[in-house]
Amino acid sequence: MDDLQRFKGEFSDKDGVQFNCAGIAPLSRSAALEYSRLVTVHQTLGGLSDSELIPVLIGARTAVAGFIGARPEQVAFAPNCATALSMVALGFPLHPGDIVVTVDQEYSSNFYPWKVAAERASAKLVVVQSSSSAQVTTEDVIAAVKPGVKLVGVSWVQFQTGAILDLKRLADHCHSVGAVLAVDAIQGIGQLPFSFAETGVDFVASGSHKWVCGPTGQAFFAIRPELMAQIELQAVGGGTFGRFGTFADPSSPMEATAKRFEAGGYNFVSLAALIAAIKVLQSAGVATLAQEISRLTALLRSGLRELGVTSATPVDQVGGHTSFELPVEWEAKLLVRAREERIAIAKRGKFIRTSIHAYCSDRDVDRFLGVLGGCR
């Protein structure tokens, strides 16, 4: 059995057709088992569980760093992407007249932090407008990042149509005008190769419940030291000063690493499952998974064309997102039938969105296309 088949085997007991990985993906079997194991440890050992739990935290930081191409001291954890993004948006030193740039197609969790930050500082929020098909390009964003822009908050992969930004180009341009680039990468990490070191972005956040196929309620982020030094902390606790689990000491310096953003306790159960989920992805290789995702997505897009359905997602766009618009009656029938047939898809704006991971199969694609065609 090759690495790809072993990866697919991790999801062999999933229910139905899981075409909503951009929403909530099924847990890999290894992640689910590790989650269950740590719940039992917590249940049975309680206060005696330190020897099991502390290594989980160390292992999670190392695992995430290796997975996203960062250093362990750059990595920190949060309950979700919105919290992580808010740390940067609300803690960054904006002033009246400064400019913040974002995109009109951002998911709410990656829009409102920048909006509120700009309002609080009396800064200007510039919202880059997408095309009529909800596509946004790297060139569109670069054109909006001019002198005076201090903070740029965008998604690497847009949640609605899967439009992808060239992070290296964008980061280089942002830095050329003195702007900081903060990226929500939750729709890309796990399905596309990513390296924090190579992109040059200043901050990146992701959660584990989408393409990583890990637990909900567990996010991680990486931040460059230059940006970390500028952020005014929005939450402070024992972890901020390296005094977690000990008495306070007025002379304790603040943590010099990204751990300063982890004010309080950890969700060890979710962190253990996250480690397991990352190992499953790494065993197969994200590049291998990306190839399978592209192959399955190409099958879907070809089938849509045969049914006369026009995709808002370009046929040659990489990644597992495909969004398309249907006549009202056809869409209504599809949404009902998909639920009845145990097919997970999503309605996003005016589009139906499918998001296919490498655990899916040709049979899943055929089944979905059959249901879609039967709803006309």
Q: Which domains does the chain have, with CATH numbers?
A: 3-27+285-374 (3.90.1150.10), 33-282 (3.40.640.10)
H-only helix segments in the chain: 3-9, 29-45, 50-68, 81-91, 112-121, 138-144, 167-176, 196-199, 225-228, 268-284, 286-306, 328-340, 362-374
pLDDT tens-place string over residues 138-166: 999 999 999 999 999 999 999 999 999 99
Distances (CA, A) of 19 to 39, 231, 239, 321: 29, 38, 39, 9
Percentage of the chain with pLDDT > 70?
Answer: 100
| Predicted pLDDT at 1 | 62
177/184 Cα distance (integer angstroms)? 21
Name the phi and psi angles at 141, rounded to 5.
-70, -45
Residue 152 burial (C-beta neighbours within 10 Å; 0-12, 13-18, 19+): buried
Please say if the pLDDT value at position 315 is more than 90: no
Q: Lowest mean pLDDT of 12-16, 47-51, 173-177, 366-370, name the range.
A: 47-51
30/10 Cα distance (integer angstroms)? 7
Q: Are 182 and 142 in contact (CB under 8 A)?
A: no
Please say if the pLDDT value at position 275 is more than 80: yes
Question: Strand 99-103 to strand 124-128: parallel, antiparallel, or no bridges (unpaired)?
Answer: parallel
pLDDT tens-place string over residues 57-74: 999 999 999 999 999 999
Q: Residue 338 region, left (φ>0) first, then alpha (ψ -120 to 50), else beta? A: alpha
245/3 Cα distance (integer angstroms)? 41
**Confidence class of residue 117 from pLDDT cuts 50, 70 and 90?**
very high
Tokens of 48: 């005696």
Tell me what the mean pLDDT of segment 314-334 comes to.
Answer: 95
Q: Are 206 and 183 in contact (CB under 8 A)?
A: no
Q: Residue 339 region, left (φ>0) first, then alpha (ψ -120 to 50), else beta? A: alpha
Please say if the pLDDT value at position 337 is more than 70: yes
Tell me what the mean pLDDT of segment 258-268 comes to.
Answer: 94
Tell me what the mean pLDDT of segment 344-360 comes to.
Answer: 96
| Predicted pLDDT at 131 | 86
Nearest to 371 by CA among 11, 25, 14, 16: 16
Q: State the pTM of this model.
A: 0.95
Cα angle for residues 217, 56, 85 (degrees, 5° grid): 35
Tell me what the mean pLDDT of segment 340-368 comes to.
Answer: 97
**Confidence class of residue 132 from pLDDT cuts 50, 70 and 90?**
confident
